[in-house]
Amino acid sequence: MLNNTKLDLWVGIFVAVGVLALLMLALNVSNLKTHAGDGVYYVTARFENVSGLKVRSPVMLAGVRIGQVETIELDPESLDVLVRMSIASNIATIPIDSMAGIYTAGILGERYVGLEAGIEEDFLIDGSNIHRTNPAMVLEKLIGQFMFNKVEE
């Protein structure tokens, strides 16, 4: 048998590498960094339609990822959809009149919430509401409208 110190050393190395691999999976591979924590604040937006949007879909500002969707809930009274999203705290200067829309990355890509910066001097803070929103475009609806217009012509 190996002497004990050498054995302990190898076991130590093995366990350290294993834990490092776990850390890499957690920090580099997964969305842990963008998960709820101190580093984010929450804002809510009300949409007419969010078709295709999912929890953990990205939130982008000017094409850069700044956060993700946390919850999607239907408001039983207005039948609107309330989307709560988390935004990294270092992005603290988004004007309060910014507009949120639901877009598609590429023709088949996934849905994301896109923010377009407004002009107000006040900024979105934790708990703010985004009032100006654009609903998701539903492809079938658009095609239907297009065909209908063609027929009219």
Partner 1 sequence: MILQQLIILGKASRAWLERLGRAYILFAYMVWGIPSIFRRFHLFIQQVYFLGVFSFLLILIAGFFVGMVMGFQGYHTLAKFGAESSLGVVVALSIVRELGPVITALLFAGRAGSALTAEIGLMKVTEQLASMEMMAVDPVKQVLVPRLLAGIFVLPLLAAIFSAVGILGGEFVGVAVLGVDSGAYWSQMQSSVDIYNDILNGIVKSIFFGLITTWIAVFEGYDTVPTSEGVSRATTRTVVYSALSVLALDFILTALMFGEH
Among 79, 108, 119, 151, binds partner 1 (CB under 8 A): 108
Q: How far is the CB of 58 from partner 1 (least distance, A)?
A: 5
Binding span for partner 1 by CB under 8 A among 27-35, 89-97, 126-134, 140-148: 27-35
Candidates 11, 117, 125, 139: give the one binding partner 1 (CB under 8 A): 11
CA-only gyration radius of the chain, Å: 23
Considering only residues 19, 117, 138, 142, which one is a binding residue for partner 1 as defined by CB under 8 A?
Answer: 19
Question: And the tokens for 129?
Answer: 């509401």
- Contact status: 86 vs partner 1 (CB under 8 A): no
- Angstrom distance (rounded) from CA 57 to CA 59: 7
Task: Rank residues 71 and 145 by Cβ distance to partner 1 and give the closer one.
Answer: 71
What are the tokens at 108? 């088949």
Rounded alpha-carbon distances, angstroms, from residue 32 to 26, 27, 28, 38, 59: 6, 6, 8, 12, 16
Residue 37 binds to partner 1 (criterion: CB under 8 A) = no
- Convert 128-142 to b/e letters by CB count within 10 Å (16 or more is b): bebeebeebeeeeee
Task: Establish if 65 lies at the interface with partner 1 (CB under 8 A).
Answer: yes
Under 8 Å CB-to-CB from 116, ≥6 apart: which residues?
98, 99, 100, 101
List interacting residues with partner 1 (CB under 8 A).
2, 4, 7-8, 10-11, 13-15, 17-22, 24-26, 28-35, 56, 58, 65, 68, 106, 108-109
